[in-house]
Structure 1
Amino acid sequence: MNPSKQAVKKRRKKVIPLSLDATFFFERAVQSLDRYHYDKALKYFRRAVEYEPNNPVNHCNMAGILSEMGRYEESNDVLRSVLERVDPSMTECHYYLANNYANMEKYEDAEKALVRYLETDEEGQFLDEADELLELLRYELNRPAPLSTIKSKENVYAHDKARELLEAGRFAEAVRLLEEIIARQPDFLAARNNLGLAYYYMGMFDKSILTIREVLEAEPGNLHALCNLAIFYQHSNKDAELEDLLVLLLKTVPFHPEHVFKLSTTLGIVGRHAEAYGHFRRLLRSSELSGEASLHHFAAVAAANVGRYDDAQRHWQQAERLDRTSEVPAFYLKKLVKMRMGEDSPPTHYHYHLPFDEQFRKWTESPELLPGALKQDPLIRSSFFWALRHGDRKTKVQVIQALGLVADAEVIEALKTFLLDPKEEDELKRVAVLVLRSIGVNDALHVQFGGRLIILEAKRKAPRLPVWDSAWQAVLEKAMEQMSGRYDVIQQHDMMTLWVDYLSRVYPNVPKLIKSSGWAAALEYWTAKMHRQTITYHDLVARYDASQASISRYVNRIDEACGIREKMKQVLTIPQLPVLQ
């Protein structure tokens, strides 16, 4: 072969084919930008757009170059084209538009574009720059921007609202909001932490522990989560897990006052009062919280539990000076006298309010104060919901009746949840059903009775009773006692509903119920009649120890108010329909 031809062939093999695509022109544009050759950069970005017309980034790059060159209107044309035709989800284009309008001194247009960016952009990439531009526009327009929300901070604002709901004792509402936040932003650990607390306040221990463990999986050293978990372990009787966790917490010496307060109250709640008192003293010596009456109360509780009664007295006296309106310091100063003599034990809880028994005694004496206290004080609400879940039988009956005085959405939801708890007694659920009906909840109720799910049908709306009297409850309990085993759950529910219906119709002129037996027998009489069961006065007299005259009189009174005979007559006169073939 000719040597010259061989040389040509070798040279041809060294030729690298040039691939002209959007990436090639993008790289050339960047190189031109580095050399401040804006005309060339613009030309190359235009070619990149020609190769990939549906790529919004190429369009935005071209708009950016036009803006750098001072060609703001052309830049805006490109940005509007992206939003209208290429990719409407490119919300950052609104920020670029705002910058261009500001450079053109079209401040109102800039404001509209910036508000649109802040209200629609989820990432918040230019949040700091947007704040600076907002300040400029506020100065130029002499007014704040009409900004309703910042989309990228939506969860932060919602979390603040959820915290307010928790502090107000509206736990069910807080749970719903926090669950929505976490669904949108699973890594929002503060929201997940507070969700665990909300479950705990509602007595849902298993869910609270699970939620806090999710926080610790993401951030093992999260002090708030560790402290919450310690409290949850204690109230779930998980002693081994609690001891393991306390080994870590007792080694922890936080610096920030918020963390010191969290750790100290946690240690006190789980019974490590000496260590808790040490942390409370740190706060009182070095923190702005030293002016808080509640902090002195917590320190007094810890001191009393380790036998430092002089310190406890000093702290409660200081709390009394700082908070003249509270009954708490005076109550415990009075108890402290008995504590010193060994006749009374120190308080076991770290809440700045009176013990539940003492609160309930006061409200029993002045029941008109209870609704306001339950509505206004989140700690009191929390203690009532806690007692509903974990109090003894007598306390639960009192709490159910007391919650009926408030009857807000939170209370209704708590009582409905109570009806579905298989661990609660059927008798307590009957009281809850009665209270729900008495406060005007007439929709169908789902109840776990006797280990099976029962649906109590919706009832006619009746006037709401403003209070539930103990004498009315006595009639109900007497009837339930005699009807148990003779009537099924539905029939017993109908008896309760009839009693509420009667009381609602005659209120406020309810007759004096001196003896409950006769009224209870009358309720069973009408329940049997409504369900076509055989019943005789002779049987009722024997079982209820009431005279036939009394039972008959009360039967007639109930009928006069509720019109039962007339209703039953109407049912009986309905003609029978022929059987379909």
Structure 2
Amino acid sequence: MGNGNVIPIILNANFFFERAVRSLDRFQYDKALKNFRKAAEYEPDNPVNHCNVAGIFSEMGNYEASNEILTHVLENIDSSLTECHFYMANNYANMDNFEEAERSLVKYLEEDLNGDFLMESEELMELLNYELDRPAPLHRIRSREGVVEHDRARALLEEGKFTEAVKLLKEIVKNTPDFLAAHNNLALAYFYMGRFAKAKESIERVLDLAPGDLHALCNLAIFLQYEGDNQSLDRLLRMLEATIPFHQEHVFKLATTMGILGRHRIAYGHFRRLLKDEEVGGDAGLYHYCAAAASNSGLYTEAERCWRQVGKLDPESVVPRFYLAQLEQALKDNQPIPPVSYNYQLPFQEQLKLWKDNKGSFSDEVRSNPLIRSSFFWALRYGDSNTKLQVTQALRWIEDEEMSEVLRAIIEEQPIQEDKLQEAALFSLQRLTGKNTETEPLLGEESISPPRHKVQPEWKEDWQRIIDQTLGIMDRRYDSAQKKAAELLWKQFVGNLYPDVPFFRHVDGWCAALEYLTAKLHNRPVTYREVAQRYGVSPSMVSRYVRRIEDECDVKASMTDSFPPFTENI
């Protein structure tokens, strides 16, 4: 036989590995062990070969030998091979050494990034909890790090609590930078609040990690539209318009994005696809989205059909009745129906009108509706002066922490806000942070707000000097909202005196009285003597000027009813 017919045998790690695998297939553990050991001799720095040896020992019931090899791998070859801890936990459990099994399993769960054995770990943990009769001291599961928190953040978004969601999502992406869903939802939270620059920044992080992420691309398209970057938007839209997603979630995301961007025919096609899905096809909101896309595309017959279906699925909703009436009137007048929002709610001005008719009474559903809450943020940032004022007055009836923060922000942005808006925000905040008061009319001229002068006086320098001096001494001891309250109280006092405003000779005395009343309005402990010493005047002067301001502004009633204490450091 010539040498050309001889196939040389190359003895290396792969050769013995393949022989070991064939032996395992035949359940020949001794031969498999022998060959895996030879593979480890050829490649001593390859942890996989050693783990295979440990696995064979475990199959043969030699758990101690298996753990010795796994310990050698972690200590001398590759400490990042966290699955070794899982293997060791199983070995200890088989030896009935449940304490050590628990220690190894906890170490695996807290250090392993991928979670390849997460399901098996849950089963083993259940066994250990039973055997040890106590829960394991597990502080985190690294492979699921941020998942529980992210679910909570999503719930906050759905509840319209955008500020809380942002805080939580920022913490998640800080601890888990590659958590794409958290980045996307952070961008949405910023967007709902009208903070476009921060929203786009979050999306760009997602696309750096995953350039083809459909959620991020859709969000980016919306942000580009608001930026007015039509050239970049057109390129992105050509790609999105040619995309036919398979997953239900992606279809919905693309449909809503096309609707927001004005590609209503494309949006309509995607929404129609979703209506054929038995899982979501009976949702009233989805029929409204389809109706909106159809109406905005001029397909009024289809829009009417969809809104009638909304009425059947959600008979208590006023939304389908409102839009059907709008559609009927437009067709009667032979005019196109105005653009329809995809949000399954009445248009914002209609909501304000409804709340006014109800004398400011908000249902729990309205309080928790994220779309309505988002519209508040948008109106306060981009609405005209009248809309901002109406929304500020409306916020007093949504009793939660986030609305208090929004009102504080309005008060603190004094360089760019009107006095009337600041006063409305201050009064709304005082109502939210204190006791319940009687229901006041929400909108219109009869709305309750701090009394204002009927004629706007030309503001004089000596009047302003009292404000400036008081705020200078109050600085660092009072927050910005409380200082603003002092300023508004003084302006109210002067306005009520106008046009018979006297010359204020004892400036320090008036400043002391103004601080004293501000402190009392916010339930801060203060005495006439304390304030008098701070301003270098007599307690009797402070008392006299305080009574003068009280007489003009009815501050005593305010202190008992309308001016409950602020909560500091919200």
Question: Is TM-score (shorter-chain normalized) higher than 0.5?
Answer: yes
Q: Let me know the Cα RMSD of the aligned residues.
A: 5.2
For 2:374, which of 357, 382, 388 is the aligned residue? 382
Candidates 237, 248, 253, aligned match of 2:244: 253
Give the one of 265, 276, 284 matched to 1:274. Answer: 265
Decide whether the 8 Å contact of 2:160 with 2:374 is kept in 1.
Answer: yes
Aligned to 1:175: 166
Q: Report if aligned partners of 2:359, 2:440 keep a CA contact under 8 Å in 1.
A: no
Deviations 1:135-157 (A, max 9, x none): 8x499979997677532112233
Count of aligned pairs between the two proteins:
494
| Post-superposition CA distance 1:487-534 (Å, at most 9, x none) | 2675698786259889xxxxxxxxxxxxx9997338997996885499
Q: CA deviation at 1:41?
A: 7.7
CA distance in 2 between counterparts of 1:79 and 1:42 reads 14
Q: Report what 1:340 is aligned to.
A: 331
Alignment-mate amino acid for residue 225 of structure 1: A
Q: Which amino acid aligns with 2:169?
A: L
- Residues 291-440 of structure 1 mapped to structure 2, 5 A cutoff: 291-342=282-333, 345-370=337-362, 372-418=364-410, 424-427=416-419, 430-431=422-423, 434-435=426-427, 438-439=430-431
* Aligned 8 A contact 2:158 2:370 in 1: yes
State whether residues 29 and 44 of structure 1, in contact with CA within 8 Å, keep that contact through their aligned partners in structure 2: yes
Q: Measure the CA separation in 2 of the matches of 1:421 and 1:247.
A: 41
Q: How does 1:455-494 map to 2 (within 5 A)?
A: 472-473=448-449, 475-476=451-452, 483=459, 486-487=463-464, 490=468
Contact 2:404–2:432 (8 Å) recurs in 1 = no
- 1:566 and 1:526 map into 2 onto residues whose CA distance is 26
Alpha-carbon distance in structure 1 between the residues aligned to 2:537 and 2:394: 43
Shift of 1:169: 0.9
TM-score normalised per structure 2: 0.69
Q: Structure 1 residues 432 and 95 mapped into 2: Cα distance closer, same or farther (>3 Å)?
A: farther
The equivalences for 1:545-564 within 5 A come to none
Work out which of the two has the higher radius of gyration on C-alpha atoms and give 1 or 2.
1
Which of 482, 485, 501 pairs up with 1:497?
485
Q: Secondary structure of the residue that 1:475 maps to in structure 2? A: coil
Residue 370 of structure 1 aligns to which amino acid in structure 2? F
Distance across 2 between alignment mates of 1:302 and 1:373: 25
**What is the CA–CA distance in structure 2 between the aligned matches of 1:215 and 1:352, rounded to whole Å?**
29
In the alignment, structure 1 residue 225 sits paired with structure 2 residue 201: no
CA drift of 1:270 comes to: 1.9
Q: Per the alignment, do residues 273 and 66 of structure 1 end up closer, same or farther by CA in structure 2, a change over 3 Å counting?
A: closer
Q: Which moved more, 1:152-161 or 1:493-502?
A: 493-502
Residue 538 (structure 1) aligns with: none
One-letter amino acid of the counterpart of residue 260, structure 1: V
Counterpart in 2 of 1:10? none
Q: 1:209 aligns with which of 200, 203, 223?
A: 200
- Calculate percent identity across the aligned residue pairs: 41
Letter in 2 for 1:358: E
Rounded Cα–Cα distance in structure 2 between residues aligned with 1:473 and 1:526: 26
* Amino acid corresponding to residue 464 of structure 2 in structure 1: Y
Change (3 A) 1:67 1:293: same
Runs of 5+ unmatched residues, structure 1? 1-25, 442-461, 503-515, 536-554, 576-581
Does the alignment pair 1:521 with 2:497?
Answer: yes
Q: How does 1:18-167 map to 2 (within 5 A)?
A: 36=31, 38=33, 67=58, 70-73=61-64, 75-76=66-67, 92-104=83-95, 110=101, 113-127=104-118, 129-130=120-121, 133=124, 137=127, 150-167=141-158
What corresponds to 1:4 in structure 2? none
TM score, norm. by length of structure 1: 0.67
The alpha-carbon deviation at position 290 of structure 1 amounts to 1.6
Counterpart of 1:330 in structure 2: which amino acid?
Answer: R
Alpha-carbon distance in structure 2 between the residues aligned to 1:568 and 1:140? 66
Do 2:410 and 2:425's aligned partners in 1 also have CA atoms closer than 8 Å?
A: no
Give the 3-state SS of the residue equivalent to 1:370 in structure 2. coil
Aligned position for 2:548: none
CA shift for structure 1 position 376: 1.8
Note the C-alpha offset of 1:185. Answer: 2.9
2:32–2:56 Cα contact (<8 Å) kept: no
Answer whether contact 2:397 2:432 (CA < 8 A) is retained: no
Unaligned runs of 5+ in 2: 1-12, 24-30, 472-480, 539-570
* Residue 190 (str. 1) matches residue 181 (str. 2): yes
Relative contact order (C-alpha < 8 Å, sep 6+): which is higher?
Answer: 2
Kindly state the Cα deviation for residue 358 of structure 1 after the two structures are TM-superposed: 1.1
Amino acid at match of 1:251: A
